């Protein structure tokens, strides 16, 4: 039986959020950062600049460290880009879900 991977829940902005996220990444743990609700629409527009306003503006995007750069273009989230080197070095995946914005950082599964 595989041990269940721990996820460190954090809130943005928060004192020491970046520090706690980096420590969790160094330990190989997943990180979930709850982002402010008011950034949902800005995130949608930054991630889908060509799309018109839609009835459902759910976000579910995944990628590598480069996704943090796009997310960090939203006002108030700029400092998230500081996680990019740790995410890249540790080969983590980045996933953003919203309308209740959550940023999840998880280690990639290695297949033999």
Q: What are the DSSP calls for 17-72, one per residue?
A: HHHHHHHHHHTT-EEEEEPPGGGHHHHHHHH-TTPPP-S---EEEEESTHHHHHHT
pLDDT by position in tens, the chain (length 112)? 444 568 999 999 877 999 999 999 999 999 999 999 889 888 988 887 776 666 567 889 999 999 999 999 999 999 999 999 999 999 999 999 998 999 999 998 743 3
Question: pTM to 2 decimals?
Answer: 0.85
Smallest Cα–Cα separation from 70: which of 90, 45, 92? 45
Element (H, E) at 35: none
Taken in order of first residue, the domains within the chain and their CATH numbers are 7-49+59-107 (3.30.110)
């Amino acid at each position: 039986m595989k041990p269940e991977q721990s996820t460190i829940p954090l809130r943005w902005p928060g004192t020491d959020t970046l520090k706690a996220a980096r420590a969790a990444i160094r330990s190989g743990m997943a990180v979930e950062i709850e982002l402010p609700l008011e950034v949902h629409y800005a995130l949608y527009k930054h991630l889908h600049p060509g799309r018109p306003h839609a009835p459902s503006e759910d976000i579910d995007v995944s990628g590598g460290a480069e996704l943090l750069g796009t997310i960090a273009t939203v006002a108030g989230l700029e400092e998230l880009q500081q996680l990019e080197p740790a995410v890249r070095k540790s080969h983590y995946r980045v996933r953003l879900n919203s309308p209740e914005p959550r940023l999840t950082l998880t280690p990639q599964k290695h297949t033999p």
